[in-house]
Amino acid sequence: MATRLYPLFARLDGLPVLVVGGGAVAQRKVRALLDAGARVTVGAPTLTPTLAKCHAESAIARMVGDFDERWLDDVWLVIAATDDRDVNQRVSAAAVARRLFVNVVDDAELSSFQVPAIIDRAPLQIAISSAGAAPMLARRLRERLETLLDHALGPLASMLERARRRIRSRLREPSLRRTFYDRVLDSRVLDLLRAGRADEAEQALDTLLASAPVSATGSVVLVGAGPGDPSLLTLAALRALNQADVILHDRLVSPAILDLARRDAERIEVGKEAGNHHVSQDRIQALLLEHARAGRRVVRLKGGDPFVFGRGGEELEFLREHDIAYEVVPGVTAGLACAAYAGVPLTHRDHAQSVRFVTAHTQESLGAFDWKSLAAPRQTLAVYMGVGQIEALRSGLLGAGAPGRIPVAIIENGTRREQRVIVTTLGHLPRSAARHAARSPALLIIGDVAGLAATLHWFGAAPIDDRPRQLREPAGIERAAA
């Protein structure tokens, strides 16, 4: 497994850097270092014609001969770019002994830092690194991003740098500056720079700055995070996460999604799970109010969709009662996403003409069920938070006339890498859940279509088929529906 690196950009302007090697690879490294303003010394027996010319023009200094540890005196950074691993190894060991950062080209094992693939929109730079594990992958990603990133971004960054003092003087709160920069990026400023109309772009920036509010107004965005796979996050959700000052998130929101949020946003876990509400709903609402009234942009990040068993409606009613501005960004609810990732169509022309979403997180919610209606044939039940109520679900449905052989799919950690699917029947549901230690977070799908998980699965490990053998045949679905 590749070592996880800490990304940084080094300021080398005017600093001495040593490159050991005088060939074509060293020549590429020297060019990049000179562009960064470094004072480069090249140590090698011979130089390429280009490097020799650089030396003749005093662009670089030179050490002649084989590597000598004294070359490391007074340098800040070292690059070994020879084709002799023994030499590279000696350079690496000597540099590490002096606590100097060293890169050995194409040798991650000997390197204490990696030179990333760079997308240059100076002064804007984007670096891509595979920690030395797959340089070709980093280069391929660079090629793709080169086609996506506007060349006018460089002039825009320079213009914003020139205006930085004025922007900070007018907009003293960081949240106000973030909002302003978002407005700039969504305006026609970039279009004007792309068209070479720099003066008009400057005027447009000044107009935006003059009209920017100078006091922060707090607000709340209810954001659906989906069931776990970060690729299911909507663009609006990603934008809200990158604008947030504070994020109140549920326990089930995956770390991969939280990693997409703005790095310096305050994160508060208000985790809730069946039977363990360690932060009450009243406390959550009090936190929303506290941070919004302090002028912060608050994201209330919920697993799935905030309006599907997410108590989003209650939170909006509370915010409206207290005159707090709010928005809602829907998410892909677990009933849809987990079924899709398990290969279970919630409706099917031959087996189910309707689908119902129900929650079974408490005994009280089960008491409100219309069991006869839920046990009706040719429909699908998607049961949220039902793992802790499996025995009661089975008893209620069987008591209302549902056949014991109807298929059930238990989908744990749906859409995530650790997804596990257990296919069983309603009659065997408690036994299967106990045998395979089914646990939350999990979604139950009850209905003839649940059996299709055994044949239509495509994501993650193949399902565990725990149905009686005679019900595993494709015809079993028709028999169950009969």
What does DSSP assign to residue 2?
P
Both tokens assigned to 186: 């969504």
Establish if 368 belongs to a structural domain: yes
Are 296 and 251 in the same domain? yes
Establish if 172 belongs to a structural domain: yes
pLDDT along the chain (482 residues), means of 10: 79 97 95 95 96 96 96 97 96 97 93 90 90 85 91 95 95 89 93 96 96 90 96 96 94 91 92 63 95 94 95 96 97 97 97 94 75 96 94 96 97 96 97 96 97 96 93 52 38
Residue with tokens 């079924």: 339
Establish if 5 belongs to a structural domain: no
**Domain edge (last residue) among 58, 89, 115:** 115
The CATH number linked to 462 is: 3.30.950.10
Both tokens assigned to 1: 């497994």
Both tokens assigned to 226: 């989906």
Are 277 and 395 in the same domain? no
- Residue 82 to residues 18, 71, 104, Cα–Cα distance (Å): 13, 15, 9
Instruction: Report helix, strand or coil for 409.
Output: strand
Are 324 and 388 in the same domain? no
Note the pLDDT of residue 278: 67
Establish if 133 belongs to a structural domain: no
The CATH number linked to 49 is: 3.40.50.720
Note the pLDDT of residue 477: 44
**Domain edge (last residue) among 307, 332, 357:** 332
Are 350 and 447 in the same domain? yes
Are 351 and 446 in the same domain? yes
Residues 6+ apart with CB under 8 A from 265: 241, 244, 245, 246, 247, 299
Establish if 166 belongs to a structural domain: yes
- Taking the CA of residue 377 as centre, how many other CA atoms within 13 Å lie in the half-sphere pointing to its CB? 13
Note the pLDDT of residue 216: 80
Are 285 and 166 in the same domain? no
**Domain edge (last residue) among 115, 135, 168:** 115
Establish if 128 belongs to a structural domain: no
Are 435 and 471 in the same domain? yes
Are 460 and 412 in the same domain? yes
Structural domain containing residue 110: 16-115
Are 291 and 240 in the same domain? yes
Residues annotated as catalytic are: 250, 272
pTM score, whole prediction? 0.76
| Rounded Cα distance, 19 and 102, in Å | 10
The residue count for the chain = 482
Instruction: Domain count for the chain, please give it.
Output: 4
Let me know: does 366 contact 385? Beta carbons within 8 Å.
no
Note the pLDDT of residue 122: 87
Are 315 and 359 in the same domain? no
Establish if 142 belongs to a structural domain: no
Of 279, 349, 292, the C-alpha closest to 322 is 292
Let me know: does 36 contact 166? Beta carbons within 8 Å.
no
Are 397 and 379 in the same domain? yes
